[in-house]
Each structure stands twice: as C-alpha cells, then as structure tokens.
Amino acid sequence: MKIAIAGYGVEGESNYRYWNMPDNQVVIIDEQQPSHEVPIDASLIVGEAAFSRLQGYDMVIRTPGLPPSKISTDGKIWSATNEFFAKCPAPIIGVTGTKGKGTTCSLIASILRAAGKNVHLVGNIGVPALDVLSEITADDVVVYELSSFQLWDIEKSPQTAVILPIEPDHLDVHADFEDYVAAKANITEFQKAPNVVIWNTNDELTSKIAENSTAIRTPYLSELGAYVKDDWFWFRREKVCSTNEMRIPGRHNVENACAAITAAWYHVPGNFEERNVTDDFASAVVSGLNNFSGLPHRLKFVRTVNSVDYYDDSISTTPGSAIAGMYAFKQPKVLILGGSSKGANFDELAAIANETNVKSVLLIGDEADNIEAAFRSTQVKVINLGKEVAMPEIVASARQQVTAGDVVILSPSCASFGMFKNYSDRGDQFVAAVHAIGEL
C-alpha cells in the first residue's frame, strides 16, 4: 500500500512507526521542513502546497492540525484516531471540550486505576494512541483526550463520550466557531445505547450536542450524575467523598472531578449492575483524587517566595482557561497574559479580572495590544512588556507588583508561538525563572 504521512510532528512520528512495514511504501509529506527529526531511510517530500498534491496514494494519514479540506487526494483520508478506534479491543472513554480535558482524563485514569483497572491514557494529552495499541487487551480501559482536530473526520465514537464546556478556540485553524463546535460534536455522532454520553448540564452547547445522541444520557453537575453539595461529592443521591480529598485547586477542577467520577462509575465493576455507589467505588474515588496532584503547566504550584505563591498555568491558551485560574484563588493576583493569536476576544477576561481581585496584569507577545485595549475600562493596572522580552525579565516585572500574600499566575490565554516553542517551553522557562529567584 502506498501511504502518505501528511504532517510530521509527535503524532506524525507515531504514524510513521505504525505504518512503516515491508508491505507498505510510506512517504512523509509536509509543506515545511518537519520540526521533528525524520528517519534517515525515510522518503520525504517538502514543499509549498504539498497537501494539495497527494494523488496516487492509497491512503493519506492526516496529522491532527491539518484540516481534511486542505488535502487533495484520490485515496482515502485517514487518521491515527480513526485507526485506533477501528482496532482497539478495549472500551474507550473519550473526553473533549475546550479546557480541562487533560485533567479530567487524568482523574478518570487515576480513579479507575485505584479501582484495579488497567488503564491506557492516550491522545491529545501527549501519548500517541497507536504507540500503545498492541499492548491493549479487551479487559483494559482506554481514556482518550480528543481535540477538535482529532474529531474532525472521526468515523466511530467512543463507548463513553465526555463533553466538557465549549468556548471559542483554534479559530486560527477552524473556518469559524461553528466548524469548531461541529468537530467537537462528532464525538457522539456514531453512539447508540448502551453507549454513554456525559456532559456539563450548565453548558448550552454541550447540552445541545448530548440531546442529539442516542446513547444513555448522564449529565454531571446534576442529580443524574456527579455533583457537589455541602462540600461533598455526590453521585445521584448518595455521598461519595469530601471535596477536600482533591489535591488540585480551583472550582473548575471540582467540576472536572464531577465529570471524571461520572465517567468512572460506568467502568468500575459492580456499579452499573447495582445502580448505586458501592463502598469500593467511593474508596477508588478517594484514592484517585488523592493520587493526582496535577499535570505540568496546568495551574501547577511552582514555589513560594517571600510569602508570594507562583503558579504555572501555561496550558491556558484561551481566555476561559485564564478566567478559571482567576476564580481558583481569593488572594490578590498578578497575571501574566498574552502570546500569539488564536482569534480570541478578551473583553470577558478583562471584566472578570476587574471583579476577582486581580491587581495587575503583565502583557506579552503579539496579543499584548489587543488585551491592553480590553483592559482600558477596568481598574486593573496594565503593564505591556511587548514582544521582545525574556522570561526572567517577565518574572522580575511580576515581582515588582507583588506584596506578601499575593499570587502570581502565568495564565497567558493565548498560544505560545513567536516567543516560545510551545506552551511546555513557555511553562518550563517560567518555572526556571521562578526557581532562580533569591529569597530576601
């Protein structure tokens, strides 16, 4: 079979490993020189408009960020996600939404592992699914973080679909917000009972998507799923455990935990049959919440310096995720905002910053001027550091704005490109700069 690997990043590398076998003729194709090292013996074609010249291939394996509409071929357009869904022998819990996917997936995995399940955590969270496909058995559970890019052309739905709140994102790649939502909605497109769809009952968009599913519907934040009352997690009308069992901050993470508890309940033996919260399940939830201390760059505590706490939330690439970070702390806050554009609007971010004890914001990157404009009607102090500023200088500027008891949060609400390689690089540089601070 003649196969084109269209786009060569982390998933492209995985695709090449998976399809590069004696019976296949595999060619790596990209419009720009790949950022990841290409195998010495691999065939590589690089050139402008390369994705529009893919005739003569039996199959084109699309990298997630490449819109199917950009591919012109007389062969089959396919993806690692489609391949995995077609071949995976285990039930799949798929999680999508705009923010909180990685944390929710990790909480689900942590709870199920505490319940004794063998769990594979894959997808947009950083582990290419095809790399572990050969290790999976029918008795395992897969938790798959699914971006809109991975769902664009999906041909099979996960057995359990979890839909977190949706807000505008990736509008630099999607045609418009409607296209972005439509891609997310594909997670339920091929579901049917006894499949399950779990969604945030307070979110209008996710509710509309769930209404169109023929699967078993279980909204969280309602008495049909997991919810919080009196600082306790409940499932349906039974207590599960205290919210104090969580080790990560923020009310948004409490909501993520409700989604995770709801999803996990369907995959712990005994629960579904007995239709109640078993002692074993409650114990697994407690252990699962205790065992998860957060993901890198996701509102992750870095260090306390001179009674000021520093948090790395570099994964925050939308205004909504930055807003969640603001609500996570009651203390006075200094925010580091800005980066490259994803087509976002910052008006709500500015308004909520004005109401949530944000004392000042430091702005960086291409979006600094746009964010500054949104903050003009607020009482928040704005410091525009521009595009030519290094992270040690950014952290030094933040230190000039704080007093004891404050919180400094890197929560950019923008993509990282231009100033940094990616959000991980941005977060790593922030952590390094914070650790370089000397105590007074």
> Is the confidence at residue 438, as pLDDT, over 90?
no
Q: Among 27-36, 238-247, 370-379, which stretch is predicted with the lowest mean pLDDT?
A: 27-36
Same domain, 133 and 258: yes
Query: What's residue 125's pLDDT?
Result: 86
**Domain match, 139 and 266 both:** yes
Per the CB < 8 A criterion, the answer to whether 8 and 62 are in contact is no
* Residues making up the chain, counted from first to last: 440
Judged by phi (left if over 0) then psi (alpha if -120 to 50, else beta), residue 294 lies in: left
Same-domain pairing of 276 and 357: no
For position 43, which CATH number holds? 3.40.50
pLDDT, average across residues 354-383: 96
Using CA of residue 139, residue 247, residue 94, residue 10, what is the dihedral sign? negative
176-180 long-range Cβ contacts below 8 angstroms, 24+ apart: 180/148
Average pLDDT, the chain: 93
Judgement on whether residues 257 and 153 belong to the same structural domain of the protein: yes
Listing DSSP states for 119-154 in one string gives EEEEETTSS-GGGTGGG--TTSEEEEE--HHHHTT-
pLDDT band at 270 (very low <50, low <70, confident <90, very high): low
Residue 275: the pLDDT is: 64
Whether omega before 34 lies within 30 degrees of 0, making that bond cis, reads no
280 and 170 share a domain?
yes
pLDDT digits (tens, 9 = 90+) for 19-49: 999 999 999 999 988 878 999 999 999 998 8
**What pLDDT is stored for residue 294 in this prediction?**
86
Q: Based on the domain organization, do 128 and 237 belong to the same domain?
A: yes
How far is Cα 256 from Cα 270, in angstroms, rounded to an integer? 23
Domain that holds residue 22: 2-74
Distance CA 41, CA 184 (A): 37
In-domain check, residue 440: no
Under DSSP, the state recorded for 151 is H
Percent of the chain scoring above 70 in pLDDT: 98
Condensed to tens digits (0 to 9), the pLDDT of residues 118-174 reads: 999 999 887 899 999 999 999 999 999 999 999 999 999 999 999 999 998 888 889
138 near 177, Cβ under 8 Å?
no
**What's the mean pLDDT in 177-195?**
94
Whether residue 102 sits in one domain with residue 244: yes
Same domain, 62 and 105: no
Average pLDDT over residues 345-353: 95
Within a domain: residue 129? Answer: yes
The answer to whether residue 279 scores a pLDDT higher than 90 is no
Residue ending a domain, choose from 51, 74, 97: 74
Same domain, 11 and 103: no
Answer yes or no: do 98 and 198 share one domain: yes
**Contact partners, residue 357, CB within 8 Å, separation at least 6:** 330, 331, 332, 333
- Looking at the fold, whether 17 and 51 belong to one and the same domain comes out as yes
How much is the pLDDT for 271? 57
Same domain for 345 and 417?
Answer: yes
Q: End of a domain among 25, 40, 74?
A: 74
SS3 track for 254-314: HHHHHHHHHHHHCCCCCHHHHCCCCHHHHHHHHHHHHHCCCCCCCCEEEEEECCEEEEECC
End-to-end CA distance of the chain: 65
3-class SS of residue 115: coil
* CATH value at residue 315: 3.90.190.20
Domain total of the chain: 3
> pLDDT-based confidence at 276, cuts 50/70/90?
confident
Domain assignment of residue 109, yes or no: yes
- The H-assigned helical ranges of 277-422 are 279-291, 319-327, 347-355, 368-374, 391-399
pLDDT of residue 35: 78
The answer on pLDDT for 272 being more than 60 is: no
CA nearest neighbour of 34 among 2, 75, 6? 6
Q: What is the CATH number of the domain that holds 107?
A: 3.40.1190.10
Q: What angle do CA 14, 195, 284 make, to 5 degrees?
A: 80
d(CA 41, CA 43): 7
pLDDT score at 21: 94
